[in-house]
Each structure stands twice: as C-alpha cells, then as structure tokens.
Amino acid sequence: MRSANTCPGTVFLVGAGPGDPDLLTLRAARLLAEADVVVYDRLVSPEILALIPPATERVYAGKQASRHTLPQPEINRRLIELAGRYRKVLRLKGGDPFIFGRGGEELAALVAAGIPFAVVPGITAGVGCAASTGIPLTHRDFASVVSFVTGHRQHEALDLDWPALARHGQTLVFYMGARELPEICRRLIAHGLPETTPLAVIQQGTTPRQQVVESTLAAAERHNPLPDATETGLIIVGEVVGLRRR
C-alpha cells in the first residue's frame, strides 16, 4: 500500500494463457506471486487463480458478451485508481492481452493518465487449443496462412471480409463465435469454401474440462453442434483439422 502523494505504481498487463497454469510464462508466474493486487477476467481459469497468494487483493472485472460485469471505461478507471494505491498492479487477462483482449484500450487509458506499465504476452487461445487438440495451424500441404478472426457481432452484422476468409489454403480461428457457428458456416460456403471443409469447436481448451466437437461446414450450418452455445468456444476451420485423426 502506498500513500497517495508518491509516484504511481506500475500496471502489468499480463496474458494468463488459455487456462492450463503450465502455459503461463515464467514472467507471468513471477508477477502473480509478487503483485499487490490482481484484476482478473472471466476467462482466467480457476487453476491459475489458485496461484494468487491468499494475502493478495483480488478484483474481478469479468466480462461476458451482453452481460458486462464492469464496463470497459470503469475497468480503465479502476486500474488507474489502483496504481495510485499499490506498487504492482497485475491486470490478468485470458490468453494474450492484445488478441481480442482490449489490451490496447486499457494501455491508452494508462498512458493518458501517466501510469507506468508493462505488457507480458500470453499464449493465445487459438495457439493453446491447437496444441491441446493436435491441430497444426499451418501445414506445408494444407495451410500457408492462419487468421485470427472475431466471430462477435458488431452492430447486428457479422461484418467480415468473407471473400478473403473463404480463400483456399488457410486456417481460420474464430474467437467469440460459437453462438454464430451456423451463420459463419453459411457465409464461408456461400463465398466458396467446400461444404466438406472440416472444423473443430473447442471449449475450455487446455483445462481438464476441455471439450472438442468436430464437424464440417455443411453439418454445422444445418445444426449448431453446441446446443447451448455460449461465446466461449473457439472454432478452427480448415483442412488441418482433418490431420487430428492421423
């Protein structure tokens, strides 16, 4: 704890990786042990939260699509306020802070407020889930491009460059898209991807609760294989998904 008139503490914007604590970076693990306060997201797994020392203050800033626990400007304000009180503020985010993590917005707020910061990268869900399910995201014979795509609707529309996404020879990784899976499949087929293109949906990847469903564009368009689809699944589309079986 610091008195209000000393210089502000540092905010560490840290990626927690996809869930398995063994996939934390050494730097993230060290900062977890040293931080005065941890501000964490809904995506941070219970296994990782268990590594926070009991005496460390915790602030939950979890977000769920359409059910914001704390709106983003409120999180930004809270980080600035905590930096006035503590020496080391750890802002812990699922995966990597700069991959669909709104890390850029939080940094901009810290810079504007003159708060020192550091960014610690994390293993993003696309990379972690590919490893834990045995799907090589690139492959000499099947995919020379991999794209990380948001499947979250902005202003009602799934406003993406579908002709580019439907091009042959790439792997698509959709974040926050499980609920929109049939619509994603419909658009990809309409723009030319074969109906037989395999896909996998991974939930709670890299944790003991990991679930994987495999399907094809045509089948998943007709029927979302995740009956109570939340936005927390990750979708991998491309011929590389078929390599899992081998």
Which of 22, 36, 63, 93 is catalytic? The answer is: 63
Residues 105-124 within binding reach of ligand SAH (CB under 6 A): 124
Please say whether the beta carbons of 165 and 172 come within 8 A: yes
Looking at the DSSP bridge assignments, the partners of residue 17 are 95
Active site residue 36: no
Residues 130-159 within binding reach of ligand SAH (CB under 6 A): none
Distance CA 242, CA 225 (A): 17
Q: Which stretch binds ligand SAH (CB under 6 A): 25-33, 51-59, 83-91, 196-204?
A: 196-204
Q: Which of 35, 38, 80, 202 binds ligand SAH (CB under 6 A)?
A: 202
Residue that the structure tokens 């600035």 belong to: 80
Distance CA 40, CA 59 (A): 6
Which of 22, 36, 41, 141 is catalytic? The answer is: 41
Site membership for ligand SAH, residue 40 (CB under 6 A): no
Active site residue 41: yes
Task: Specify the pairing of strand 117-120 against strand 10-15.
Answer: parallel
Distance CA 160, CA 182 (A): 15
Question: Residue 128 gets which letter from DSSP?
Answer: H
Largest CA distance in the chain: 63
Q: Rounded to the nearest whole angstrom, what is the least distance from the CB of residue 210 to ligand SAH in the complex?
A: 7
Site membership for ligand SAH, residue 21 (CB under 6 A): no
Complex with ligand SAH: residue 9 or 123, whichever CB lies closer: 123
Q: Which of 32, 35, 75, 96 binds ligand SAH (CB under 6 A)?
A: 96
Environment class of 140 (CB within 10 Å of its CB; exposed 0-12, middle 13-18, buried 19+): exposed
Q: Rounded to the nearest whole angstrom, what is the least distance from the CB of residue 80 to ligand SAH in the complex?
A: 21
Active site (catalytic) residues: 41, 63
What residues make contact with ligand SAH under the rule CB under 6 A? Answer: 18-19, 43, 93-96, 99-101, 124-125, 129, 175-176, 202-206, 231-234
